[in-house]
Amino acid sequence: MRIPILVIHGGAGSWRIDSGFLDEVKKALVNALVNGFKLSYDGSALDMVIEAVRTLEDSGVFNAGIGSTVDLSGNISMDAGIMFNDKAGAVGYVKYPKNPVLLAKYVYEYTDHILIVGSAADELAKKFNLAPHPGPNKRWIKLYREYMEKIKQGEKVATYYGKSLKLWMNIGDTVGAVALDKNGKLAAAVSTGGVFLKLPGRIGDSPIPGAGFYANKCGAAVSTGVGEYIISTYLALRAVDEICRGVDVITASKKALEILTNRFGANTAGIIAIDRDGNLYAIYNTEAMPWGYIDGDGNIVLGGLPKTL
């Protein structure tokens, strides 16, 4: 028997927000921790991370689920992935479900596949009677219109982070969770609305095992940040690989992120990780990465919170 632990994050970024929004961020994190941890008594690490991520998706505070940003066409499209018992399930470029993490769970449970994408994944969500997404929120629609207007007027706008990383990093991105359950098993889950003004159909690291998430018997990790950089350096896999080699979770997370930072610079990514003994760590090369954990001893701790404007 282990003392269960659940760790979550709300996205690495600059997070330039006011104090009212910061309160919403904290509340959403605590809600997700509590909801996820409730399942630690009868459920598995997988149940815990899925419920935590589902709560973060529903909060509307983060760029995932209800709070998902829009692509260049003005539409939402989301990615999500889960991993448990050496098996992964994921979805990419989905528009229909309110909770992509639940669709990833169905891919995990009911198919022989790992990753299902696009309109076919949306069809699957309907078959499984998942709740529909209400569409992008007002904040994103407003920002989208502002940028489209600038583009129409010939203003040179950095429409994608290759040109101006900071543009979307102001808002924060992906949400994720890792957990250790009472049986000593580890799980990871992640969900995202992707990057603002991405090309439609673009898939980032979130639905790719080893990039956006990874979990095995040694450890579990989830990534957040620039998807292309995370795919290129296998952030989650590299961290868990190190843990499997006997490296402690702090050094392992640092080393993995260091590879990415050395290659692509700062303000690009973050990671949370946990090992089978319940040691956990959160690290990011951005200004903030709201994260927190809850454990069987009754501790709830939040960290990485942004400074307010």
- Using the contact rule CB under 8 A, the part of the chain among 28-36, 114-122, 128-136, 272-280 near its own copies is 114-122
Q: Decide if residue 203 touches its own copies (CB under 8 A).
A: yes
For its own copies, give the closer residue by CB, 94 or 280: 94
Binding mask 55-94 for its own copies (x = CB under 8 A): -------------------------------xxx---xx-
Q: Which of 17, 12, 14, 27 is nearest to 302 (CA)?
A: 27
Phi, psi for residue 286 in degrees, rounded to 5: -105, 180
Indicate which single residue of 198, 206, 268, 270 sits in contact with its own copies (rule: CB under 8 A).
Answer: 198
Q: Decide if residue 300 touches its own copies (CB under 8 A).
A: no
Provide CB contacts within 8 A for 141, sequence distance 6+.
70, 74
233 catalytic, yes or no? no
Q: Decide if residue 231 touches its own copies (CB under 8 A).
A: yes
Pairing relationship of beta strands 87-94 and 115-117 according to DSSP bridges? parallel
Residue 88 pairs with which residues in a beta bridge?
Answer: 83
Give the active site residue among 55, 159, 174, 192. 174
Q: Decide if residue 208 touches its own copies (CB under 8 A).
A: yes
- Using the contact rule CB under 8 A, the part of the chain among 12-20, 59-67, 175-183, 225-233 near its own copies is 225-233
Q: Is 228 exposed, middle or buried (CB count within 10 Å of its CB: 0-12, 13-18, 19+)? A: middle
| Cα separation, 297 vs 305, whole angstroms | 23
CA dihedral 106, 67, 206, 289 (to 10 degrees): -130
Q: Side chain identity at 272, as an amino acid letter? A: I
- Entry field: residues in the chain: 309
Indicate which single residue of 121, 236, 240, 273 sits in contact with its own copies (rule: CB under 8 A).
Answer: 121
Binding site for its own copies (CB under 8 A): 86-88, 92-93, 111-121, 123-124, 160-163, 198-203, 208-210, 227-228, 231-232, 234, 237
